[in-house]
Structure 1
Amino acid sequence: MEGGGMRRTVVALAALMLLAGACTAGGGTGQSPPPTVNPSATHEPVTIEIWGAWSGRELKQFNQIFPAFEEKYPWITVKSVGNRDDEAIVAAIRAGNPPDVVLSFGLDSVGEFCSSGGWQDLTPYIEQSNFDLSQFPESVFKYTSFAGSQCALPFLTDAYGLYYNVDLFEKAGLTEPPKTFSELTEYAKKLTEFNPDGSIKVAGFIPWAGFYEFGAVTLSIPWQAHWYDESGQHSAVATDPRWKEALQWQKDLVDFYGADELKRFVAGLGGEWGAGHAFHHGQIAMMIDGEWRTAFIQDLAPDLNYATAPFPVPDDAVDRYGMGQIGGTIIGIPRGSPHPAEAWLLVSWMATDTDTLVYMANNVRNVPTTYAALESPDLDVTPQFKTFLDIFQNPYSHYKETSAIGSQDQDLMGAFMEDWQEGKVPDLQAGLDQVAQQIDALLAQTQV
């Protein structure tokens, strides 16, 4: 699973709406007791199927976990099917022939998965089996539940932080990473180098929406800008003052470079997922990125002298320094699962088995999601990777508020940010008011 934007499978709202129409049983209480199975008894052999979006090398690594499960539950055989995105899962649920277990990178679909009943509320299973939710940091429940339904459990996660080039820091006389946004601006200016013609040679930090991992969500989390009000029924992008502060900070730094100049510079940089990545080549001194970047650097730029740190926070929130954006892979039981009792055995095992989580973390370089796995001596922890383990465990770390409209709120805010950074928005408040109205209109359509 690579990259927050890359690894998040975006599901079309139309497909999700059709799922909502097909699934009349929502989450919450009042469900009948779930089916159970006694692991100590004798059982007829059964094969259960899990669908997920893993592919290629990562799918092969993922499939290595199942022999340990099959050894623990010898009457169960697991068939793992890769290259199944959220759209394929939704279509199978609607058609009445879903797999037993589903795995998704689509955090932004959790609201619809839970509220529609497309992913079953796991609360009855949790209660019946005395499953201990305290194994997980509180932060995971922000992106695995919605509207009273705990319809998913975590299986590895991402954490976002600051990457910085140590050699460029030393050249600029900087000895430690910035902790506040004012320091980030100061550092970015000190680290920036211009060519004689005024073009950018090295950018200290690129606050350009759509460039690598910088965008609406990765900006909002450290600024602690809310997407929705307390009811979850109305957008807060026009009423939470943090949004204006965050966007003004972004625009001020864009203006330092010049929007046209920065746009040209970004257009000439290498792609995010290949050897030409700008950070690998010292073309940018600082950036926001996820823990997986450590693996890319090890593979593609092993001699790069770099360090990581939590991303800066607002100047008036220094007590929250160390927090960051978190959220990753989720697993659950779809509505109509052919073998729900066995499916729960697999879901609960995948979410909590320490050896499995450590193996996956060491191979795909994501953050494990239980306290036991985080503390395991078998976890391969470099100084750069440890930063992200700490961010995940910080009590202020979180993902954006979940809603029933998938990623459409992000799409709207992302488009707005692109216009804003290029100077096409004359009135920031009026522009945010319009985005909020558009989000509210989408929410109203869901009738959640």
Structure 2
Amino acid sequence: MEKRKIAAVLAAATLAATVSACGNDKDNGNASPSASAGASSGSSASASATATATATASASAKPAKDKTPVSFWYLWGGAEGENVEKLIAEFNASQDLYEVKGLSVPDVQKVVVGISSGDGPDITDNFSNNTASYAEKGMLEPLDEYIKKDNYDLSDFVPAALEGGKYDGKQYALPINVNFNLLFYNKKLFADAGIAEPPKTADELLADAIKLTKVNADKTIDTLGFPDFPLIYYTTGMSMAFGGSFISDDGKTLTPDNPGTVEAIKLMQDYRNQFGVGNVVKFNAAAKYMDATDPMFLGKQAMRIDGPWFGNTVKNVLKKDLDYGVAPLPGPAGHPELAGGGEVSSSTFFIPSNAKNKDGAWAFMSWLMSKEGMTKFNSMFANLPARTSVYDDPALQSIPDFKAFADAAKSPNLKAFPVFSGQTEYGKLINDEFELAVGGKQTAEEAVKHMKDKSAGLLK
């Protein structure tokens, strides 16, 4: 899941252009993330192989007699794609009306093009940060009537995750999981530095990070004390953890110049200035995320801001022996009421507005989003379900760090990034100005002013 999220952020600008070019089916066109977010797991050999194998299997398989076919394109590949196929097979065996045919298409732009040509799927997945732009282009089918007709219960969904699938008062997508970040820390490095517990406030975070940092004779960073890498997981999430919000309560004004964003920038600036901006940037440039040489796995990074996939990758994928702890993101000093804050996104499923079998697509989606279906999906993917009512299910308890994330998901201070048609562009300009500031190119105040000025007019 983390690869989909990283690729989603890297592809955001390209995806926005593709969607704009496609338009919608009202004007002869059509249609994460994140991080979770356009969503793509890239064009790796394993993903391509899965796509080819799945396509061949789907083409040769004969649906059960009298069952109506439902086309499902999904962005997962490799082992994750195989898990999706297991769920598809279970749904097909559970009822006599529909036969879902899965196809791994781990490239979000191909999905968009497929839908715009009229040859796309009946149901597909993406990240919540694409909901608004897709809905405005007319590519998404509203789900409200299906939900109402079936009296489908959404009361136990994490509110911020459910909001990520809404646009202009309508529900266009449903979340299968919840993605947000917590603070991971190396227990041995903390003990060696004489630090008994993880930081709870911004001030404690900076003080601990300075103690935990080790430098070489030439002043370059040997061990990174601050959760500076990967930078992508710090920006908006830490702003929200410090009480910031990127839109006004009435939803009419974008507010990137909130105090939380200023504090998040200044905190990273203070750390980088202590050890040299160039030295930290050099360390980050050499670091590789989530492979055997990741600095966190080598004991060269004391703290990491990351998501629920972290522990599964460490323990079950890379099988690393890393003694780490998990804690909420630090909040602003003197404001205990803001504890447990952060940014929520999710992987979502939607039905294209020009789908040929919308009823079948909803039948599969509602099955997958049920308590049982969601539990099975997330136990396979080692993710946190979007329904809090399943958090005590025994099948989920073996997921690394599940309890820590399940407890944190109940915090009322988790927020979703604003959902509107320009949210991809908004997120990018925030990240760009943030990076300029922590790179020593501008002050925090200048950064948020530029964010405010450049986002003017985005919210229509």
- Secondary structure of 1:311's counterpart equals coil
Query: By how many angstroms is 1:86 displaced?
Result: 3.1
Which residue number in structure 1 is paired with residue 432 of structure 2?
415
Q: In structure 2, how many angstroms separate the alpha carbons of the residues matched to 1:67 and 1:200?
A: 50
SS at match of 1:343: helix
Q: What TM-score do the two structures reach when normalised by structure 1?
A: 0.87
Instruction: Determine helix, strand or coil for the equivalent of 2:102.
Output: strand
- Measured on the aligned residues, the alpha-carbon RMSD in Å equals 2.4
Question: How far is 1:154 from its partner?
Answer: 0.8
Report the secondary structure of 1:227's partner residue.
coil
Name the residue aligned to 1:94. Answer: 116
TM-score, length-normalised on structure 2?
0.85
Q: Distance in 2 between matches of 1:398 and 1:272?
A: 25
Do residues 219 (structure 1) and 242 (structure 2) align? no
Contact 2:312/2:399, CA 8 A, preserved across alignment: no
> Secondary structure at 1:401's aligned position in 2?
coil
Aligned to 1:5: 6
Is the counterpart of residue 113 in structure 1 residue 134 in structure 2?
A: yes
Contact 2:73 2:102 in 1 (8 A): yes
Q: Is the 8 A contact 2:382 2:399 kept in 1?
A: no
Distance change >3 Å, CA 385–CA 430, structure 1 → 2: same
**CA positional deviation for 1:85:** 3.4
* Residues in 2 aligned to 1:242 and 1:212: alpha-carbon distance in whole angstroms: 17
* Segment drifting more, 17-26 vs 156-165: 17-26
- Contact 1:212 1:272 survives alignment (8 Å): no
Equivalent-residue separation in structure 1 for 2:156 and 2:313 (angstroms): 30
- CA drift of 1:142 comes to 2.5
Name the aligned partner's letter for residue 454 of structure 2.
Q
Cα distance in structure 2, aligned partners of 1:54 and 1:46: 24
Partner of 2:275: 257
Question: 1:83: how far off?
Answer: 2.0
Find the counterpart in structure 1 of residue 322 from structure 2.
304
Q: Once the 2 structures are TM-superposed, how far is the Cα of residue 352 of structure 1 from its aligned partner?
A: 1.4
Q: Aligned in 2, Cα 1:295/1:213: closer, same or farther, shift over 3 Å? A: farther
Residues 232 and 403 in structure 1, CA contact (< 8 A), matched pair in contact too:
no
Tell me the residue number matched to 2:161: 140
Of stretches 281-290 and 17-26 in structure 1, the one that deviates more from structure 2 is 17-26
Asked whether the 8 Å contact 1:101–1:343 carries over to 2, the reply is yes
SS of alignment partner, residue 135 of structure 1: coil
Q: How does 1:130-279 map to 2 (within 5 A)?
A: 130-207=151-228, 211=230, 213-238=232-257, 240-269=258-287, 271-279=288-296
The gaps in structure 1 that reach 5 residues or longer are: 27-42
For 1:39, the equivalent position in structure 2 comes to none
| Per-residue deviation, residues 348-395 of structure 1 (Å, max 9, x unmatched) | 1111142x3233323321111213332212213467332112222222
Shift of 1:181: 1.0
Give the distance between the partners of 1:268 and 1:84, measured in 2 at CA.
Answer: 27
Determine if contact 1:143/1:399 at 8 Å carries over to the other structure: yes
- In the alignment, the residues of structure 2 paired with residue 98 and residue 330 of structure 1 have an alpha-carbon distance, to the nearest angstrom, of 17
1:127-156 CA-to-partner distances (Å, cap 9, x unmatched) read 111111103122222311122121000112
Contact 1:233–1:440 (8 Å) recurs in 2:
no
C-alpha change, 1:147 and 1:292, in structure 2 (3 Å) is same
Shift in alpha-carbon separation, 1:84–1:276, aligned structure 2, 3 A: closer
SS at match of 2:164: helix
1:71 positional shift: 2.2
Which structure is richer in relative contact order (CA contacts within 8 A, separation 6 or more)?
Answer: 1
Indicate the residue corresponding to 1:390 in structure 2: 407
The aligned length equals 422
**Alignment counterpart, residue 435 of structure 1, candidates 451, 454, 459:** 451
Counterpart for residue 36 of structure 2: none
What is the SS of the residue equivalent to 1:437?
Answer: helix
Structure 2 unaligned residues grouped into runs of 5+: 31-64
Deviation readout 1:410-446 (Å, 9 max, x if unpaired):
2212221222112211x543442222222224x26xx
Q: Distance in 1 between matches of 2:301 and 2:216?
A: 14
Post-superposition CA distance 1:78-131 (Å, at most 9, x none): 111112433223223322233111111x32211112333311111111111111
Identity of aligned residues (%): 24
Q: Equivalent residues in 2 for 1:34-45 (5 A)?
A: 44-45=66-67
